[in-house]
């Protein structure tokens, strides 16, 4: 294929309409030739494949989609592609940069046109794991239709105000309460013509572990947790600056990811290990294992208090982990990051330091019915110590918070609201910015438990306007025994130390002790230095994979698994919120949860059965426990199919 060159003898007009017309016509011809080479235009990722090579301003990719800093460049309207429109004809009005001059297609463009004619056809109901577009099921990665550019999405302040008819989402990606994206009951279904429990063919796409389809770099995703995100995070990867063009989102290669996790490549009870207990803890990639091992074999030393080389290296690694954590959470200053053992210790720290200082008799602490015990018990201890009262936001039978009841609970007596970002037992994604805005309007502070959100969703504590945010390293592919507390600088500065010991002091006499500033005053004694090194390596790994890519993959996998499990005879799903992440809790009446878990273990499948340290949430559904498969980005649809097949084959009385 060749592209006609501009005749050097032709009159050259001033830049403007003539230049635009030339570029438009040139790229239109190129697109027509590309689509002409394919027997099925809808199967050709032509424009998606060549888009990164076309000279144009920085593409309008949402910041969270790329996991990189936002820029001041205004959005560029996306162009309809043949694959995403009902009209099979190729669009002829393709925008191009007025300054661009494309003379000869690059080798990459030529190769993108080499589409084999014998490629296997995809099933009509699934396309690389994504549902195809229909009037009732919007495209997963829709492109903008029409010639007029869309009005930019207006994101309101972190006040909790919302428009009930709006589909807008908050800065960090959560849906606005009562918007269609939060309250919609539309579901994606997979047509099945085969008998129930007939796996894997009833669920498998042509290649159940294939990469996701090519994504047009100028189209925006329709995932509730990516839409509207403005996370500004400097790249943790060497060689990438914090400014400039945002790179395109690449296809997610789950098999390449799985090769990074050595524990997954073993057999348990004669079957390949299928790890579906990710809500309890995640497995560790080679990068984390190697970083921790390297620290102990090369750099091991205590930090901050020595003048020799190993201590200097150890200190630099430790503080680099703090900076990476700041970037990961979108905090403004590394001094707002306190290292702790995990989420549990972080909540206890806030309860005993901030709480003892700011909560008194008659004051109220608001929790939710979804909470993990680690976000209940510390507040009960505080309430007993100071004479405060615990108030609880109820949930509906889908496992979603009833925010109208939350509004009724708020009062001048409310001092602290502590809420899970994502429920560990049901997977419900809570609209935390709405919760934060309402609390702030009543003068209350908010702690967000991010133990279950950080492994699955982009997070930005600054945009969220959280006062405190906590998470555990072992939930995000880092070692056990390490976690972090984010606190706003002014709050941390005013809080007293929780524990006393070495390093957290400026001066000590028998008459008094002068404490260091935050975060050191909360980090008494020798910290888990290797754990921080491993946490930093895990964050490096997540950014190298791409948090938006893994979030999109997991979201599709969760939808697929939800539909697949529905054919298991007698199954009762527990937690059916519209917005969920990772968790697939269920019971099968007549079969004990322990029996189900043991049966799955015989086939190499690891799931959690129990109350998941969330008894109030379980008891809302009249239960004391559930079976809880939970997903991560290294799980596959083949593993889901195996889970369904084994459940269907379980002996029943």
Q: How far apart are CA 628 and CA 574, in angstroms?
A: 9
pLDDT the model gives residue 95: 37
Tell me which of 207 and 299 has the higher pLDDT: 299
How do 483-487 and 337-340 pair as beta strands? antiparallel
Helix, strand counts (H, E) of the chain:
20, 19
Q: 553 is written with which tokens?
A: 């993959």
Q: For residue 59, is pLDDT > 90?
A: no
Q: How far apart are CA 296 and CA 104, in angstroms?
A: 54
Confidence band of 305 (pLDDT split at 50, 70, 90): confident
Q: Are 149 and 60 in contact (CB under 8 A)?
A: no
- Tell which residue, 35, 26, 46, has the closest CA to residue 103: 26
Q: Are 47 and 79 in contact (CB under 8 A)?
A: yes
Tell me which of 187 and 355 has the higher pLDDT: 355
Q: For residue 351, is pLDDT > 70?
A: yes
Q: For residue 598, is pLDDT > 50?
A: yes
Please report, for the chain, the start and end positions of each structural domain, with discontinuous segments joined by +. 1-121, 257-284+546-648, 289-544
| 468-524 confidence digits (pLDDT tens) | 999 999 999 999 999 999 999 999 999 999 999 999 999 999 999 999 999 999 999
Residue 306 CB neighbour total at 10 angstroms = 13
Q: Which residues contact 254 (CB under 8 A, 6 or more apart)?
A: 209, 211, 553, 633, 634, 635, 636
Residue 205 Cα distances to 418, 551, 630, 640, angstroms: 42, 20, 21, 12
Tell me which of 206 and 21 has the higher pLDDT: 21
Catalytic residue among 359, 447, 564, 613: 613
Confidence band of 42 (pLDDT split at 50, 70, 90): very low
Tell me which of 440 and 82 has the higher pLDDT: 440
Mean pLDDT confidence for 616-621 = 97
pLDDT the model gives residue 548: 92
Task: Indicate the CATH number for domain 289-544.
Answer: 3.40.640.10
Domain 257-284+546-648 is of which CATH architecture?
A: Alpha-Beta Complex (3.90)
Mean pLDDT confidence for 358-363 = 98
Q: How far apart are CA 257 and CA 260, in angstroms?
A: 5
What is the pTM for the complete model shown?
Answer: 0.67
Confidence band of 169 (pLDDT split at 50, 70, 90): very low
Rounded (10°) angle between helices 637-648 and 547-565: 20
pLDDT the model gives residue 252: 87
What does DSSP assign to residue 22? H
Beta bridge partners of 275: 606
Confidence band of 467 (pLDDT split at 50, 70, 90): very high
Mean pLDDT confidence for 535-541 = 98
Q: Which residues contact 291 (CB under 8 A, 6 or more apart)?
A: 533, 534, 536, 537
pLDDT the model gives residue 481: 97
Q: Is 217 helix (H, G, I), strand (E, B) or coil?
A: coil
- The distance of Cα 165 from the centroid of its chain, to the nearest Å, equals 25
Tell me which of 52 and 23 has the higher pLDDT: 23
Q: Is 648 in the active site?
A: no
Q: Is the peptide bond preceding residue 519 cis, with omega within 30 degrees of 0?
A: yes
| 228-275 confidence digits (pLDDT tens) | 333 333 334 333 233 333 333 447 899 999 999 999 999 999 999 999
pLDDT the model gives residue 198: 53
Buried b (16+ CB within 10 A) or exposed e, 585-614: bbbbeebebeebbebbeebbbbbbbbbbbb
Q: For residue 605, is pLDDT > 70?
A: yes
| 182-218 confidence digits (pLDDT tens) | 333 333 333 333 334 654 444 443 333 333 333 232 2
Residue with tokens 């200190």: 315
Q: For residue 569, is pLDDT > 80?
A: yes
Residue 73 CB neighbour total at 10 angstroms = 13
| 377-395 confidence digits (pLDDT tens) | 999 999 999 999 999 999 9
* Mean confidence (pLDDT) of the chain: 74
Query: How wide is the angle at C-alpha 243 spanned by C-alphas 487 and 77, nearest 5°?
Result: 105
Q: For residue 631, is pLDDT > 90?
A: yes
With a pLDDT cut of 70, the percent of the chain lying above it is 61
Q: 540 is written with which tokens?
A: 């490096």
Q: How far apart are CA 452 and CA 464, in angstroms?
A: 16
């Amino acid at each position: 294929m060749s592209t006609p060159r501009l005749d050097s003898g032709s009159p050259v007009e001033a830049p403007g309409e003539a230049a635009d017309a030339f570029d438009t016509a040139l790229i239109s011809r190129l697109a027509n030739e590309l689509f002409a080479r394919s027997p099925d235009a809808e199967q050709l990722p032509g424009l998606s494949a060549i888009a990164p090579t076309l000279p144009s301003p920085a593409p309008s990719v949402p910041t969270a989609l790329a996991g990189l800093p936002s820029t001041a460049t205004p959005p560029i309207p996306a162009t309809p592609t043949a694959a995403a429109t009902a009209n099979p004809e190729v669009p002829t009005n393709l925008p191009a940069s007025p300054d661009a001059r494309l003379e000869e297609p690059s080798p990459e463009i030529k190769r993108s046109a080499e589409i084999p004619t014998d490629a296997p056809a995809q099933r009509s109901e699934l396309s690389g794991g994504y549902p195809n577009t229909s009037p009732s099921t919007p495209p997963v990665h829709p492109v903008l239709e029409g010639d007029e550019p869309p009005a930019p999405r207006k994101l309101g302040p972190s006040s909790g105000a919302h428009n009930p008819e709006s589909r807008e989402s908050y800065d960090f990606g959560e849906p606005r309460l009562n918007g269609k994206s939060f309250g919609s009951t539309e579901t994606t279904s997979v047509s099945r013509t085969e008998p129930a429990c007939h796996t894997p063919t009833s669920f498998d796409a042509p290649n159940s572990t294939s990469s996701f389809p090519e994504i047009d770099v100028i189209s925006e995703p329709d995932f509730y947790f990516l839409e509207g995100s403005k996370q500004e995070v400097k790249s943790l990867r060497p060689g990438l600056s914090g400014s400039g063009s945002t790179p395109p989102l690449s296809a997610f290669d789950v098999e390449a990811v799985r090769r990074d996790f050595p524990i997954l490549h073993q057999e348990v009870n004669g079957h390949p290990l299928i790890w579906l207990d990710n809500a309890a803890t995640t497995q560790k990639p080679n990068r984390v294992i190697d970083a921790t091992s390297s620290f102990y074999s090369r750099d091991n030393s205590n930090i901050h208090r020595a003048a020799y080389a190993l201590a200097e290296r150890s200190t630099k690694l430790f503080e680099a982990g703090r900076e990476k954590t700041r970037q990961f959470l979108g905090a403004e200053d590394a001094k707002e990051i306190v290292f702790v053992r995990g989420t549990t210790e972080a909540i206890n720290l806030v309860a005993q330091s901030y709480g003892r200082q700011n909560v008194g008799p008659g004051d109220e602490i608001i929790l939710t019915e979804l909470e993990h015990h680690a976000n209940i018990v510390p507040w009960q201890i505080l309430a007993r110590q100071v004479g405060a009262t615990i108030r609880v936001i109820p949930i509906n039978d889908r496992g979603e918070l009833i925010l109208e009841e939350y509004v009724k609970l708020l009062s001048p007596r409310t001092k602290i609201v502590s809420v899970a970002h994502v429920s560990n037992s049901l997977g419900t994604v809570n609209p935390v910015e709405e919760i934060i805005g309402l609390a702030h309007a009543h003068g209350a502070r908010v702690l967000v438990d991010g133990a279950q959100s950080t492994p699955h969703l982009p997070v930005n504590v600054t945009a969220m306007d959280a006062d405190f945010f906590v998470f555990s390293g072992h939930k995000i592919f880092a070692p056990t025994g390490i976690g972090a507390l984010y606190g706003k600088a002014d709050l941390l500065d005013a809080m007293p130390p929780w524990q006393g010991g070495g390093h957290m002091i400026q001066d000590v006499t028998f008459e008094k002790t002068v404490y260091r500033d935050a975060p050191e005053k909360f980090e008494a004694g020798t910290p888990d230095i290797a754990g921080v090194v491993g946490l930093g390596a895990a964050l490096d790994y997540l950014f190298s994979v791409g948090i938006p890519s893994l979030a999109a993959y997991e979201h599709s996998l969760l939808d697929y698994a939800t539909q697949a499990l529905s054919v298991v005879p007698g199954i009762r799903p527990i937690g059916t919120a519209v917005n969920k992440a990772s968790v697939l809790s269920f019971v099968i009446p007549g079969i004990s949860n322990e029996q189900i878990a043991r049966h799955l273990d015989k086939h190499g499948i690891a799931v959690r059965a129990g109350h998941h340290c969330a008894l109030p949430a379980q008891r809302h559904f009249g239960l004391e426990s559930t079976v809880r498969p939970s997903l991560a980005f290294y799980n596959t649809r083949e593993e889901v199919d195996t889970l369904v097949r084994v459940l269907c084959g379980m002996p029943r009385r």
